Amino acid sequence: MPELERPERLQIMLTADELAALENWRYDNRMPSRSAAVRELLRRGLSSEGFLRADHGIKSQDYGVLPTAPGDGAADADE
């Protein structure tokens, strides 16, 4: 079985209203999956609080929700 690109799993509980808001945001923003939508919203929330900052010269392919090593950039919704 191949190695998973994102091996960590996070399970959260949502109310029906929270799930509806997530799904509406996902479809309005043409996100490919709930997971992608949650990662993008998480990235935006962390960015707004100043936790994620892009380094100069970082490539889009190197982005994720959090940097994987010191010097990596912030997240991007590209999948």
| Inside any domain, residue 50 | yes
For the entire predicted model, the pTM comes to: 0.59
pLDDT given for residue 62 in this prediction: 63
- The string of pLDDT tens digits covering residues 3-57 is 778 888 899 999 999 999 999 999 999 999 999 999 999 989 888 877 766 566 6
The number of distinct structural domains making up the chain is 1
| Inside any domain, residue 22 | yes
Distance CA 76, CA 44 (A): 9
Q: Which domain holds residue 20?
A: 16-62
| Inside any domain, residue 9 | no
Taking the mean position of all CA atoms in its chain, how far away is CA 43?
Answer: 5
| Inside any domain, residue 58 | yes
3-state secondary structure 4-47: CCCCCCCCCCCCHHHHHHHHHHHHHCCCCCHHHHHHHHHHHHHH
| Inside any domain, residue 8 | no
